[in-house]
Amino acid sequence: MKRHQATLLENRRLGPGLYSLQVEFEDLGDVEPGQFFEFLTGARFLRRAFSVADRDAMRLRFVLRVVGKGTAWLSQLTEGSKLNLAGPLGQGVAMPSEGPVMLLAGGIGAAPLLYLARKLNEQRVEVDALLAAGTKEELILTEEFGSLCRKVILATDDGSCGQKGLLTDILPALPAINDIQIFYACGPESMFAALKRLDLGKPLYAFLESRMGCGTGLCMGCGVLGRDGRYHRVCTEGPVFNLEEIEL
């Protein structure tokens, strides 16, 4: 694990409780989609995990949703603040050999998928994205996905933007779905459970979250129950798992 003293270049509000943080590193090696960084905050003892949402040279973008004290603290940081970060952590996602692939984002789940879209785009793999959220205000990063994807489908629970309904209501009826080779999904646990029931017949990689202790494989705090009846560490064995292999 590498620790960094990084600088917050920009802290921009994207929507209700949603913030985009641009962070400048002094020293940064390869970062793969799916990997994450752990942020020290002044509000909690343990670090907080955030996926890399995008990269531009030595700058990483993170997108966060305020859900508790740690995220609230981060959301209030002003530009120029110094950040104590550890990372990159976790395994990068297995990149597909061919497309098209589809990204399935529920709410803040769009964050890590954006960086995946960027990498897929660089490798000229065709990529579609289905971005869902509760309301129009909570639909984030739509423009960024637009510039990287073949097709972007928007959906909101209340119909205030794009199609109306849950991601898993809309997905099965999409015409594009048939030639998709791999799905990548990130969203709340209920979304993964519903995706599992849909049984899309193609590999589906789930970007999981979990309350973490160490983020470095030492404490067993983050385990997700596998179909083998054992817990697997989201921090070092994940955070991306084949949906088939985990219990929800």
Ligand X SMILES: Cc1cc2nc3c(=O)[nH]c(=O)nc-3n(C[C@H](O)[C@H](O)[C@H](O)COP(=O)(O)OP(=O)(O)OC[C@H]3O[C@@H](n4cnc5c(N)ncnc54)[C@H](O)[C@@H]3O)c2cc1C
Ligand Y SMILES: Cc1cc2nc3c(=O)[nH]c(=O)nc-3n(C[C@H](O)[C@H](O)[C@H](O)COP(=O)(O)O)c2cc1C
Residues at the site binding ligand X, with contacts judged by CB under 6 A: 36, 44, 48-51, 62-65, 67-71, 108, 111, 209-210, 212, 234, 239
Choose, by CB under 6 A, the member of 222, 224, 243, 246 that binds ligand FES. Answer: 222
77-85, 136-144, 175-183, 220-228 -> range binding ligand FES (CB under 6 A): 220-228
Residue written as token pair 């596998």: 226
46 binds, among ligand FES, ligand X, other proteins, none (CB under 5 to 8 A by kind): other proteins
Whether 134 contacts 158, CB under 8 Å: yes
Report the nearest approach of ligand X to the CB of residue 94 (Å): 16
Residue number with the smallest Cβ distance to ligand Y: 219
Residue type, 35: Q
If one asks whether residue 213 binds ligand Y (CB under 6 A), the answer comes out as yes
If one asks whether residue 226 binds ligand FES (CB under 6 A), the answer comes out as no
Site for other proteins in 66-105 (CB under 8 A): 86
Choose, by CB under 8 A, the member of 40, 72, 94, 198 that binds other proteins. Answer: 40
Size of the site for ligand FES (CB under 6 A): 12
12-20, 110-118, 189-197, 218-226 -> range binding ligand FES (CB under 6 A): 218-226
SS3 sequence, 77-141?
Answer: CCCCCEEEEEEEECCCCCCCCCCCEEEEEEHHHHHHHHHHHHHHHHCCCCEEEEEEECCHHHCCC
40 binds, among ligand X, ligand FES, other proteins, none (CB under 5 to 8 A by kind): other proteins
107-115, 133-141, 169-177, 204-212 -> range binding other proteins (CB under 8 A): 204-212
| Count of Cβ atoms closer than 10 Å to residue 241 Cβ | 20
235 binds, among ligand Y, other proteins, ligand FES, none (CB under 5 to 8 A by kind): ligand FES
Percent of the chain that is helix, strand, coil (3-state, to 5):
25, 35, 40
If one asks whether residue 223 binds ligand Y (CB under 6 A), the answer comes out as no
Choose, by CB under 8 A, the member of 180, 212, 240, 243 that binds other proteins. Answer: 212
Question: What is the rounded distance in angstroms from the CA atom of residue 182 to the CA atom of residue 140?
Answer: 23
Residue written as token pair 């531009």: 56
Residue 102: alpha-carbon gap to chain centroid: 14
Looking at residue 246, what DSSP letter applies? B
Per-residue contact string for residues 178-217; x = within reach of ligand FES by CB under 6 A: ----------------------------------xxxx-x
In total, the chain counts a number of residues equal to: 248
Nearest partner of 207 among 116, 87, 97, 98, judged by Cα: 116
With a CB cutoff of 8 Å and minimum separation 6, the contacts of 97 are none
Query: Which residues would be at the binding site for ligand FES (CB under 6 A)?
Result: 212-215, 217-222, 233, 235
